[in-house]
Amino acid sequence: MTGGGLLVAGTTSDAGKSVVTAGICRWLVRQGVKVAPFKAQNMSLNSFVTREGAEIGRAQAMQAQACRVEPTALMNPVLLKPGGEQSSQVVLLGKPVGELSARGYHGGRQQQLLGTVLECLAELRGTYDAVICEGAGSPAEINLRRTDIVNMGIARNAELPVLVVGDIDRGGVFASFYGTVALLSRQDQELIAGFLVNKFRGDVSLLEPGLDMLHDLTGRRTYGVLPFRHGLGIDEEDGLRISLRGAVRESEVSSPFGEDVLRVAVCAVPLMSNFTDVDALAAEPGVVVRFVDRPEELADADLVVVPGTRGTVRALEWLRERGLARALVRRADEGRPILGICGGFQLLGEHIEDDVESRRGQVEGLGVLPVRVRFAREKTLARPVGEALGEPVEGYEIHHGVAEVTGGEPFLDGCRVGRTWGTHWHGSLESDGFRRAFLREVAAAAGRRFVPAPDTSFAALREEQLDRLGDLIEQHADTDALWRLIESGAPQGLPFIPPGAPA
């Protein structure tokens, strides 16, 4: 028996598809429904490693957490990791299979993956009561419709009803809803069940006349109006926001537990990946996290984080061009705290031999850590477990660079020299005891009277956040109508809205 399904599409990128998908998943699992998330194709530099060693988008990993299930490669069969303006690494079923230009991907390779994508979705629907799928961008990107495998392409093939989410905070949501439907072919329009308004501020009664008119114009209902709430983003696919910072900064618990705050500066390197690593820092009361791109912005930082990047050599050049490289070396010499993660760890070393990512051969690093890095064609994907600063730590690794550590003190399979730490482990700061021990060392080195709160649980904060998303759906959407969509598909007899697009 095939489980129910729903595709959550959006009028634009960042309309709230990921959040709404996670919210529907959490609402369903609280009703006793066995549910899984799915995104056929994801473009993101923020990824995660599943327990079977597969790389998928972090948003799908968080949606799996909303479902209270382990994430698997089936939930995100195609992941595109941009490596520049014109090309991306293609990750298929959790493993990299090569680099492709946008033209090469949309010119044929994408359509070849449709069979794999549909097989993954069918397997999930055969296992779960419901699968909540997330689209990408807009379903009305008519230049890409022919090869689409993530929006209407998969909806048509899998006969999924489609809910279109619009961000009313941007303005123009009614035109976006109407235009999205009107630019689709008759066959695609038959699957557009209706709309969901996201990020509404104010009195809903003032919006209702517009929703009635939208129904009259399109023959489609609005399934809910979600109010604007701060700090509800799950792990971002793109952009520079960190998902828990808003919640911590604007909540009542944002004051420091000790007498001082702790300032963290994150170098906003090009092709920055897994910047979600600093979410756990931002979740600590009294820790202020900001992204920086100028050397003077490091001056008052108690900790500088050099994050992961999909272009280590390019990031190194950028640091030098900006003057940040000199500032980092000077900071290390002065014994002021620096943490390098993955690509950030690699560029802090002595040299990088890269014939894979940048193909630049041997490049001198910043020389802060006794590490030599050689890029291997095979990508390391792992879920390591260990201990540091007397505390247990878990993390995950996603990198081509192989590090040869020639000195310093061991630190999470990397090393430490003075107050500079380097590791390939993403996610280590989510281990609460280790994070608190690390921040105590940083505070002592910075001369700050900062004390980590003794009871901050990053996992509990994530659960609270996912429950808040579930609450939004339960309280502000027509959940009975949503369940009918998931179980029975799009309503019959939905009207065609001209002009439409060719079939």
Residue with tokens 């035109």: 175
Q: Which phi and psi angles does 414 have, rounded to 5°? A: -115, -135
Return the structure tokens found at 454.
Answer: 């003794």
Which residue stretches of 113-257 are H helix?
Answer: 114-127, 152-158, 173-182, 186-189, 208-218, 245-250
Q: Distance (Å, rounded) from C-alpha 401 to C-alpha 437?
A: 28
Residue 461's CB: how many other CB atoms inside 10 A?
17
Among 89, 64, 86, 68, CA closest to 78: 89
Q: Active-site residue among 342, 415, 424, 476?
A: 342
Number of DSSP helices (H) and strands (E) in the chain, helices first: 17, 27
Among 249, 299, 319, CA closest to 279: 249
Helix, strand or coil, per DSSP, at residue 457: coil
CB 386 within 8 A of CB 377: no
Helix, strand or coil, per DSSP, at residue 23: helix
Residue 376's CB: how many other CB atoms inside 10 A?
12
Give yes or no: 133 in active site. no
Helix, strand or coil, per DSSP, at residue 206: helix
Is beta strand 371-382 parallel, antiparallel or unpaired with respect to 397-405? antiparallel
CB 431 within 8 A of CB 388: no
Residue with tokens 């809903």: 204
Distance of CA 415 to the CA centre of its chain: 28
Return the structure tokens found at 369.
Answer: 């850590």
Residue 130's CB: how many other CB atoms inside 10 A?
22
Return the structure tokens found at 267.
Answer: 């170098």
Q: Active-site residue among 399, 400, 424, 426?
A: 426
Distance of CA 393 to the CA centre of its chain: 22
Q: Distance (Å, rounded) from C-alpha 479 to C-alpha 224?
A: 9
CB 406 within 8 A of CB 372: yes
Catalytic site positions: 342, 426
